[in-house]
Amino acid sequence: MRYYEPRFRMAVLAGEQDRLISKIGGLPWGMPADLWPHCCGCPQKLLAQLRHESPMLDLGKEGLVLHLFQCLECGGIDECGRDVVVIDQSSMGDGLTRVPGWDHSCGLGEPPLIGEFWIDEWLEKDDGIPDERLSEFFVESSYWALQDEFSEIDFYDFLGRTRFGGSPRWTGNGPLVVPPPPFEFLFQIDNSLILEGVSPDVDAVGCVVTTFESGSSHQSNALPVATKLGAPWSIIHEVGSDYYSAEFTNLGSDGTIFVYVDRTQVPHAVQWFWNR
């Protein structure tokens, strides 16, 4: 099955945003303020703003933009706090949108914003699993059997946990929340985003950076919360590794966001959930 892996750039290292960019976190670009969803008495936090970009992200029509919001008071765990706003770019403005209370500290996250990461590039990949096996991913028993059959499915492989299209990679809880058809799997984003290279300096990124080497770990001088707007919430880097991981919101420390689409509607209807 073909799928796409986004490559991310940390917004705090990228300069000012001057146009609509597909991204995780931060403030929404050009979204009409009256569409900003609230929950638990507060504005929700932008989790992602993603442009229709087929085949990586098909929202049903050119020019559509998907917004996912998460309430960091309730976490978006139960029935509420996980809003979706899909709008046409023609009804969007210029510049970053703010609403009163956009930067409030929440019970489940002190930073004013969800960590911001821009999608720079898409890598097209193929896991070698035939398309006709897709339905087996959504039944717990057959999913675990697939893992035995295809070495590409690895429960312990957290590197492949952020992917668009193709088939899902569940957490240890298996296919926990799957909306019934006509909803289909659209993409998933892991709690830890993978970035290439060596972790930048703590002052440059404005968050806690933890480096570890087999058995010991070192945490950067204490920075209790993200000190730069849109900074990651934390970074972890293993000495000698050519990548590092960055946490951007509260998904219970190791959760994954799963996003589903109903293609029978235009714009396509979207739902999202997260679980550990």
**Comparison of 205 and 257: residue with beta carbon closer to Zn ion:** 257
In angstroms, rounded to a whole number, what is the distance separating the alpha carbons of residues 269 and 262?
5
**Comparison of 48 and 129: residue with beta carbon closer to Zn ion:** 48
Place of tokens 């001057």: 18
In angstroms, rounded to a whole number, what is the distance separating the alpha carbons of residues 187 and 3?
9
**Comparison of 48 and 71: residue with beta carbon closer to Zn ion:** 71
What is the total residue count of the chain?
276
**Comparison of 107 and 181: residue with beta carbon closer to Zn ion:** 107
First-to-final CA distance of the chain? 24
- Give backbone dihedrals phi and psi of 23, rounded to 5 degrees, phi first: -155, 165
Point out which residues bind Zn ion (CB under 5 A): 39-40, 71, 73-74, 81
Instruction: Tell the smallest beta-carbon distance from residue 223 to Zn ion (Å).
Output: 27
**Comparison of 21 and 74: residue with beta carbon closer to Zn ion:** 74
**Comparison of 35 and 40: residue with beta carbon closer to Zn ion:** 40
Number of helices and strands in the chain (H, E):
2, 17
In angstroms, rounded to a whole number, what is the distance separating the alpha carbons of residues 33 and 51?
18
Spatial contact of 82 and 69, defined as CB atoms under 8 Å apart: yes
Instruction: Tell the smallest beta-carbon distance from residue 69 to Zn ion (Å).
Output: 10
In angstroms, rounded to a whole number, what is the distance separating the alpha carbons of residues 23 and 67?
10
Report CA torsion sign: 51, 55, 56, 57: positive
**Comparison of 14 and 77: residue with beta carbon closer to Zn ion:** 77
User: From residue 69, how far is each of 21, 28, 208, 232, 247 by CA, in Å?
Assistant: 16, 10, 24, 17, 17
**Comparison of 211 and 250: residue with beta carbon closer to Zn ion:** 250
Instruction: Tell the smallest beta-carbon distance from residue 40 to Zn ion (Å).
Output: 3
Instruction: Tell the smallest beta-carbon distance from residue 71 to Zn ion (Å).
Output: 3
Instruction: Tell the smallest beta-carbon distance from residue 155 to Zn ion (Å).
Output: 31
In angstroms, rounded to a whole number, what is the distance separating the alpha carbons of residues 232 and 248?
5
240: left (phi over 0), alpha (psi -120 to 50) or beta: left
Distance of CA 36 to the CA centre of its chain: 18
Instruction: Tell the smallest beta-carbon distance from residue 226 to Zn ion (Å).
Output: 21
Instruction: Tell the smallest beta-carbon distance from residue 275 to Zn ion (Å).
Output: 17
Instruction: Tell the smallest beta-carbon distance from residue 45 to Zn ion (Å).
Output: 10
